[in-house]
């Protein structure tokens, strides 16, 4: 992924250090870590802080496919890891303050599954899927895909960190069964990340991972960062299991609405196949994820129950916050993409979309 444009002093300094010819000096990274601690203490809302979320997102990317021009040797650089841990601590604390977790059920797998299904059924967050199905314009569909591309173009990777962190048994087997489907059962053309790229290509959007990162707001980055936080930390293995369970349980029906919205505007099966595939796949996955993954993990290790429910509630909370912002923008006739110049009229965001479209060879 290309290093994006910085969004403040933290990301500016980080990108300068990562782009330098020499490895970053320990003293410079120590100063940046102190600045990160101060920034996290001073911010009004870390979930919407553009500078902090972008900095954390790019630190996580060092553990995925990396950043262009940045040495692989820096993945485990002690100073960079320390910087990530500093931001992670503040980010996790904010999530635990913000995310409402219901009263814990029993730790038996059926009790856990029953509570997860109740949480998913009671979710009354803003319905992006229904708006897409009935009202979204072609430009709004492009924005919808751009926003989702942050996760969908690397779909399944954050949750796969949990595989070696779970003990051999029911939960691990369930996770591998789900992930095998996400990765196409060994067929690259069936990988869900590839299918999403096909959908983007059908709307003449660029499919390179991270291409549109500059136009994605902090809250969307925070959603991705929460997955990486849970997946990369073994102590949060319960949270990543609960996250995947809720993720799958709130996917099947919305994807049917997404497919309907794209068909409404005349797009064919090549574009809708990604959503159609998830309607069927996630209807199966939700049962496995709720009963065998999340429920099986809590049953085998009741100490993880609270984090299982926290991970699930995090999905619902962040989806609701993102949906509220996205719908409000569209209903007010604004772009839901990040207004790069902080133009309250939304003109900068519209210009950003136009520029992205032109770069991808699309007529805005």
3-state SS of the chain is CCCCCCCCHHHHHHHHHHHCCCCCCHHHHHHHHHHHHHHHHHCCCHHHCHHHHHHHHHHHHCCCCCCCCCCHHHHHCHHHHHHHHHHHHHHHHHHHHHCCCCCCCCCCHHHHHHHHHHHHHHCCCCCHHHHHHHCCCHHHHHHHHHHHHHHHCCCCHHHHCCHHHCCCCHHHHHHHHHHHHHCHHHCHHHCHHHHHHHHHHHCCCCCCCCCCHHHCCHHHHHHHHHHHHHHHCHHHHHHHHHHHHHHHHCCHHHHHHHHHHHHHCCCCHHHHHHHHHHHHHHHHHHHHHHHHHHHHHHHHCHHHHHHHHHHHHHHHHHHHHHHHHHHHHHHCCCCCCCCCCCCCCCHHHHHHHHHHHHHCCCCC
Q: What per-residue confidence (pLDDT) applies to 124? A: 76
Phi, psi of 333 (to 5 degrees): 75, 20
Q: What per-residue confidence (pLDDT) applies to 333? A: 96
Cα–Cα distance for residue pair 204/363, rounded to 1 Å = 9
Backbone angle region of 221, left / alpha / beta, with phi > 0 → left and psi within -120 to 50 → alpha: alpha
CB 217 within 8 A of CB 337: yes
Cα–Cα distance for residue pair 294/172, rounded to 1 Å = 10
Phi, psi of 69 (to 5 degrees): 80, 0
Cα–Cα distance for residue pair 271/310, rounded to 1 Å = 34
Q: What per-residue confidence (pLDDT) applies to 29? A: 98
CB 314 within 8 A of CB 99: yes
Distance from the Cα of residue 71 to its chain's centroid: 25
**Tens place of pLDDT per residue across the chain (364 aa):** 999 999 999 999 999 999 999 999 999 999 999 999 999 999 999 999 999 999 999 999 999 999 999 999 999 999 999 999 999 999 999 999 999 999 999 999 999 999 999 999 987 777 899 999 999 999 999 999 999 999 999 999 999 999 999 999 999 999 999 999 999 999 999 999 999 999 999 999 999 999 999 999 999 999 999 999 999 999 999 999 999 999 999 988 999 999 999 999 999 999 999 999 988 877 889 999 999 999 999 999 999 999 999 999 999 999 999 999 999 999 999 999 998 754 433 444 445 555 554 444 443 3
Q: What is the CA radius of gyration of the chain?
A: 20
Q: Global pTM?
A: 0.93
Q: What per-residue confidence (pLDDT) applies to 349? A: 45
Q: What per-residue confidence (pLDDT) applies to 355? A: 54
């Amino acid at each position: 992924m290309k290093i994006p444009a910085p969004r403040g002093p933290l990301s500016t300094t980080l990108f300068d250090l990562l782009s330098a010819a020499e490895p970053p000096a320990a003293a410079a990274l120590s100063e940046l870590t102190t600045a990160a601690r101060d920034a996290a203490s001073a911010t009004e809302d870390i979930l919407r802080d553009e500078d902090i979320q972008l900095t954390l997102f790019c630190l996580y990317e060092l553990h995925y496919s990396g950043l262009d021009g940045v040495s692989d040797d820096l993945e485990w650089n002690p100073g960079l890891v320390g910087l990530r841990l500093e931001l992670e601590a503040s980010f996790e604390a904010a999530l635990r303050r913000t995310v409402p977790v219901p009263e814990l059920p029993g730790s038996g797998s059926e009790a856990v599954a029953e509570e997860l299904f109740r949480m998913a059924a009671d979710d009354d967050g803003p319905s992006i899927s229904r708006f897409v199905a009935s009202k979204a314009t072609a430009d709004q569909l492009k924005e919808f895909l751009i926003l989702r591309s942050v996760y969908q173009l690397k779909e399944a990777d954050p949750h796969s960190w949990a595989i070696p962190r779970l003990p051999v048994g029911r939960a691990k087997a369930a996770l591998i069964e789900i992930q095998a489907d996400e990765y196409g059962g060994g067929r690259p053309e069936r990988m869900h990340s590839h299918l999403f790229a096909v959908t983007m290509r059908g709307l003449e959007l660029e499919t390179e991972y991270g291409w549109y990162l500059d136009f994605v707001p902090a809250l969307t980055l925070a959603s991705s960062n929460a997955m990486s936080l849970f997946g990369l930390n073994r102590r949060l293995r319960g949270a990543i299991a609960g996250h995947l369970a809720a993720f799958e349980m709130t996917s099947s029906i919305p994807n049917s609405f997404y497919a309907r919205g794209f068909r409404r505007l005349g797009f064919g099966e090549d574009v809708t196949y990604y959503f159609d595939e998830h309607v069927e796949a996630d209807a199966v996955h939700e049962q496995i994820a709720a009963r065998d993954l999340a429920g099986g993990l809590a049953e085998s290790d009741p100490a993880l129950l609270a984090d299982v429910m926290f991970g699930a509630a995090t999905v619902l909370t962040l989806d609701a916050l993102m949906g509220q912002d996205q719908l409000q923008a569209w209903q007010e006739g604004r772009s839901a993409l990040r207004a790069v110049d902080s133009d309250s009229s939304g003109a900068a965001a519209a210009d950003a979309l136009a520029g992205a479209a032109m770069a991808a060879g699309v007529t805005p």
